[in-house]
Amino acid sequence: MSNNSKKSARDIWVFGDYRNYFQNRVTLQLLARAVDLAPKIDARVCAVVFGNDVDEYIREYIAHGAQKVYVVDHPSLDNYPIETFVKLMEILVDKYSPEIVLIGATSFGREFAPRLAKRLRTGLSADCINLEIDDDGLMVQTAPSFGGNLLAKIVTPETRPQMATVRPGTFQEIPHDDNKKGEVIKTDLPDSLPVERVKVISSVRSQERSQKIEDARVVVCGGRGMGSKKKFKKLFELASILNGEVGATRPVVYSNWVDHDALVGQAGKHVKPQVLFSFGISGAIQHTAAINDAEFIVSVNKNPNAMMMKLADVAIVADANQVCAALIKELKKRIRN
């Protein structure tokens, strides 16, 4: 496992994932974290961006903390061709030997990062909820793991680069600063690139919901404790009175009580509302990892020892359906026009 051990290089790279920019700001969030971590290992913060006509992203990444931007800009890179992107990244990593490579856990990132790690024969942790540097200068990656009720701290001690994907919304971006300067290193498209074996027949922006649950100020989440699909529907009434959105746990989504879209969890949406109402949710880490940015949590559960009750600011020990109904009634009474 030592063919890639290069301890001298000290750069933190952030992969520039701009496909769903502006909605998806994970690249900027990762740059912010890289700026925090870099002094601890005496590293520079670099962004890498591939695509067609990417000048605006180069400027954006510099304004958000990148000291260096590696760029491959070519018309053939228009449609996020994954095999080409993996190859280009492999070439650049081999050439410049970064210490750390961070990639946003978008759908693309979650496909791209493992393939790259495989080529580089290095370690990769998935969907991290924290990154730190330890006393040995290793990046400690905190990832939800093991049956979903535990967190694991993971390191890649030998091989380089150390790689992690990070869930969007985990870190706060640094405000845009146009006065920041950065070096831009452009690389030509290499002669020998793989022929893309997956053809993109079409790629169209899918319909977005009017308010996204990620941005909602109030989120009403329900779990299996709601009892049935029919009873679960009551949460939509509550959410609509609160001008909020409905989220659900994995068992609820798997039981088809709601669309997969509503999944709040590790494999779904990450929410950060001012107020989160949680009904009948026990609180597996896949779920709790995705709600821990909520400012104020009201949890309703018959079981006072449920994880979700311990995380709550207000834990209501009662039947979820009955409290939901009582809340609807009380809110209707209190909300005057």
Q: DSSP readout, 216-243?
A: -SEEEEE-GGG-SHHHHTHHHHHHHHTT
Site track 61-100 with another protein (rule: CB under 8 A), x = hit: ----------------------x-----------------
Residues near 239 by Cβ (< 8 Å), separated by ≥ 6? 218, 219, 220, 245, 246
3-state secondary structure of 278: strand
Distance, in Å, from the CA atom of 310 to the CA atom of 243, rounded to the nearest integer, reads 26
CB of 154 to another protein, least distance (A): 5
- Under rule CB under 8 A, which residues in 217-236 are in contact with another protein? 217-218, 224
315 near another protein, judged by CB under 8 A: yes
Pick one of 65, 98, 144, 182: the residue that binds another protein (CB under 8 A).
144
Distance, in Å, from the CA atom of 53 to the CA atom of 62, rounded to the nearest integer, reads 16
Q: Which of 197, 164, 191, 6 is nearest to 91 (CA)?
A: 191
- Stretch (H or E) spanning 124: strand 124-128
User: Is the Cα torsion angle 26, 48, 205, 22 positive or negative in sign?
Assistant: positive
Residue 95 vs 336, nearer CB to another protein:
336
How remote is the C-alpha of 223 from its chain's centroid?
A: 22
Sole window of 15-23, 30-38, 46-54, 68-76 interacting with another protein (rule: CB under 8 A):
15-23
CB of 188 to another protein, least distance (A): 25
Strand partners, 157: none
CB of 264 to another protein, least distance (A): 14
- Under rule CB under 8 A, which residues in 243-272 are in contact with another protein? 243-244, 250-251, 254, 260, 266-267
Residue 224 vs 270, nearer CB to another protein:
224
Residue 177 vs 243, nearer CB to another protein:
243
Q: Are strands 130-133 and 139-145 parallel, antiparallel or unpaired?
A: antiparallel
119 near another protein, judged by CB under 8 A: yes
CB of 177 to another protein, least distance (A): 27
Pick one of 75, 135, 179, 204: the residue that binds another protein (CB under 8 A).
204
Site track 151-170 with another protein (rule: CB under 8 A), x = hit: xxxxxxxxx-----------
